Amino acid sequence: MDTHDLAGPAGLADLATRARAELVREIEASGAWDADPAWREAFEAVPRHLFVPYYYVGVRGGFERLWGEDPDCRRRERWLRGAYADAPLATRVRDGELISSSSQPSLMAKMLVELEIDEDHAVLEIGAGTGYNAALLAHRIGDALVTTVDLDSEITESARRHLESAGHRPTVVTGDGARGVPERAPFDRIMATCTMNSVPRPWLAQCRPGARILAPLATGLIALRVRDAGHAEGRFLQTPAYFVPLRGATGPGPEPQHLGGLPSRATSHERFRFLLTLTAGNLDPHDAYALWQREEEPGRERYGITVSDERVWAWLDDPEGPYAWPLP
């Protein structure tokens, strides 16, 4: 398609259709929804560009804004093609800090599959973002079963507008996601799209027995099964995951900074950085390195989390084993 053909809505709509089809093929090739190919239909149907009317790309010294109403048709094409790239998009920047984004679509697809959703499940999403993930959920199970929450009223208002433009009206709530949304409980699934440093206990109280919780934590994805309001347990997936931190009651803690004397191979190794982040404040980095070596550089899937009435802790291999660390 020639660039001048993009001057009108018809040209952009045609490019969006073709770009969305290419994104679907790319996600399929990644194997993200092999276990539940029904998610393909949602990604085919929901137009991502409606949820990112503008976004930011990193440039030297800051960010460049791309938007769909740019008078330059070449920049409009660049915006639209970027909207359908299998990449995260920075959608809200405040004082030079990224506070909201649209996640990488193939990672979103994998997370949605890992939720193990049935058609009658009520789902709570922590972190409304652009509304795109809520739209994918609503396409699959219906608006009435989807609730999404975010602390920032500007984010929830824009997410609501984006959802309506795509023909969806799930429940959008402004509030602290760490507290859940008790007035919409009980939930069968809770999915966080922002990084945590622990698992908030109010979530368990708002879940039905047998519910599944999926949340980014320490550069990984923890999948918990809820037994009741006082107990949940599960392991991390193998998949790395990097998200904007949750703002509010349970934001992430810092990584340890004192890594002097450790081999550069360890300090730059993704698996070791995961262990450092998971145990930050509870395990000296040099002790963490000794453990990492002794246990033959364990991957994320060997770690897990248990939530009980008394405490929340992370562990390696066995929740009652010798390697366990408290979480906030």
Any idea which residues carry the catalytic annotation? 100
What is the per-residue DSSP string for 114-128?
HT---TT--EEEE--
The helix/strand/coil state of 214 is strand
Indicate the helix (H) or strand (E) that contains 132: helix 132-141
Both tokens of 221, joined, read 């994805």
Phi, psi of 263 (to 5 degrees): -60, 140
Q: Say if residues 328 and 250 touch (Cβ distance below 8 Å).
A: yes
Contacts of 205 (CB under 8 A, 6+ apart): 180, 182, 185, 229
Residue with tokens 């490019």: 15
Indicate the helix (H) or strand (E) that contains 211: strand 207-217
Residue with tokens 């984010």: 155
Euclidean distance between CA atoms 149 and 156, whole angstroms = 7
B/e letters for 295-317, b = 16+ CB within 10 Å, e = fewer, are: eeebebebbbbbbeeeebbbbbe
Euclidean distance between CA atoms 308 and 317, whole angstroms = 18
Phi, psi of 223 (to 5 degrees): -115, 110
